[in-house]
Amino acid sequence: MPFHHLAVATHDMKAIHRFYSEAMGFELVKVEMAGTPTGGRAKHFFYDCGDGEMMAFWELHDPALPSDFDPALGGAAGLPEWVNHYAFKVDSVAELHAARDRWLSQGIDAIEIDHRWCHSVYTKDPNGTLVEFCVTTGRFDAADRDRALAALERDDLEQDESPEVVVHRASEHRA
């Protein structure tokens, strides 16, 4: 089942807007502005990810809420940035590379990883959350499902081979 939207808070909505509209290619389609239950006010911005599913960001103006929160999805949980992240689907490696090149042309570094069953590019958004475009390049079979089920109960399974990682620096990118 597809999701309707994911919602997170931010400290800098203008930076979020530039990133998600220009670097990610998402369209700002809606804002809701209302009071909060504790007497403040909030704006809730919705971006169409391209398929009707949306990302939403809260701009909060409420003295009853903490102003020093960490907006990074992993940082708020005290985890490394690679743990909690957003992954957006693309349909081909060509589309993945177009997204990577869009980031690089805008001065945004990217990491590219071939996981051998999917291929991904990553960067961080203005909140400090890792953002990914990903294309599935393999198929799952019964052996994959059996291994996944076994991993629920066992820690002694063989580790996967390390994926190929390429760091793309925007400063080295030629448009």
Quick one: pLDDT at residue 175?
Answer: 61
Q: Are 55 and 5 in contact (CB under 8 A)?
A: yes
Inside any domain, residue 23:
yes
Inside any domain, residue 44:
yes
Alpha-carbon span 63 to 70, nearest angstrom: 16
Which amino acid would we find at residue 118?
A: C
CATH number of the domain enclosing 22: 3.10.180.10
Inside any domain, residue 149:
yes
Inside any domain, residue 73:
no
**Within this chain, do residues 88 and 142 fall inside the same structural domain, yes or no?**
yes
Q: What confidence tens digit (pLDDT) does each residue in 120-132 have?
A: 999 999 999 999 9
The sheet with strand 85-89 has its strands ordered as 85-89, 130-136, 118-124, 110-114, 164-168
Tell me the average pLDDT across 6-25: 96
> Is the per-residue pLDDT at 141 higher than 80?
yes
Q: For residues 74 and 114, which has the higher predicted lDDT (pLDDT)?
A: 114
SS3 state at 167: strand
HEC assignment per residue over 40-57: CEEEEEEEECCCCCEEEE
Structural domain span for residue 108? 82-172
Quick one: pLDDT at residue 111?
Answer: 98
DSSP letter assigned to residue 163: P
* pTM for this predicted structure: 0.90
> Is the per-residue pLDDT at 51 higher than 90?
no
Alpha-carbon span 131 to 128, nearest angstrom: 9
Q: Are 46 and 54 in contact (CB under 8 A)?
A: yes
pLDDT, averaged across the chain: 94
**Within this chain, do residues 109 and 57 fall inside the same structural domain, yes or no?**
no
Handedness of CA 62, 67, 70, 71 (dihedral sign): positive
State what percent of residues in the chain have pLDDT above 70.
Answer: 99
